Amino acid sequence: MKPAIKEAAGALKKTRLPRQSELPLAKTAQPIGAGSRASSDLPAKKGDRTRLQIKAAARVIFARDGFLNSTIAEIMKEAQRSIGVFYRYYKSKDELLLELTEEFRQKLLQQIHLPLRPNQDPIDNFEEKLGIFWQLYMEDWPIVNSALQMSMVDEAFAKRWHDLRQQGIGAIAHIIGKARKLGYCPTIDPHYAASALCSMLEFTCYNWTSRWGDFAGAKMSKTAAIQTLKQIASHSIAWRSPT
């Protein structure tokens, strides 16, 4: 992972992050919801159990130290296994995060898929989705914050993160488009706005969960938090030109 830190810039040369194509995206489609409960309910196969233990340990260590500050050694100590075992399950530290991120992505995509119900205002639908996003972020913040870190530092990872963001942005842009058809926010560029709202969501969640975040210490009220997000996000769209 020295590489991960050092390798990123296009201008740099030395070590080798796995090429995009080498990465095991497919592998990730494990049963939804299996991610967060790790070591208690033993899955059928021993290997799977170890894999879960590693992931659970990573979560703990990422939460404590952040991704870039954590070491494989530390994670495996938490997982009560030897370092060597790590590489039986993951090709690299990056790949571990990739898998965790992919799980989060799957969960998110599945749960956030809420088609507009008949007669539902798109804004209401948007708020529902916001609630889900917040919920999932709270569950998996050590992973998402880690992904955020890596996306700022590693090119390969940044590209994947960018793709995930694009899905979110696309979805929100779509909603904004719908809203505009209903007369809302006529002067706004749906894509730019979606990008900004996405940033707000992500980074607010980051700042409200990270160790040194805005309200670290004084833990914030969950409902107030989500109310704030919903109000800001929806009012930023749900306005009409004055007449």
Q: How far is the CB of 128 from DNA (least distance, A)?
A: 39
Using CB under 7 A as the binding rule, whether residue 94 contacts DNA is answered as yes
User: How large is the greatest C-alpha to C-alpha distance in the chain, in angstroms?
Assistant: 69
Using CB under 7 A as the binding rule, whether residue 43 contacts DNA is answered as no
At which residue do the structure tokens 């160790």 appear?
Answer: 211
| 84 burial type by CB count under 10 A (0-12 exposed, 13-18 middle, 19+ buried) | exposed
Using CB under 8 A as the binding rule, whether residue 167 contacts a second copy is answered as no
SS in 3 state form for 113-126?
CCCCCCCCCHHHHH
Site for DNA in 71-90 (CB under 7 A): 71-73, 81-88
Segment lying near DNA (by CB under 7 A), choices 11-19, 162-170, 195-203, 208-216: 11-19
What distance in Å separates the CA atoms of residue 115 and residue 77, rounded to the nearest whole number? 44
Segment lying near a second copy (by CB under 8 A), choices 33-41, 107-115, 122-130, 233-241: 233-241
Helices marked H in the chain: 2-6, 46-65, 72-78, 83-89, 93-112, 122-151, 155-181, 190-209, 222-237
Segment lying near a second copy (by CB under 8 A), choices 21-29, 47-55, 127-135, 153-161: 153-161
- Tell me which residues touch a second copy (CB under 8 A): 5-12, 64-66, 68-71, 145, 148-149, 151-153, 155, 158-159, 161-162, 165-166, 169, 185, 187-189, 192-193, 195-197, 199-200, 202-204, 206-208, 210-216, 220, 224-225, 227-229, 231-233, 235-239
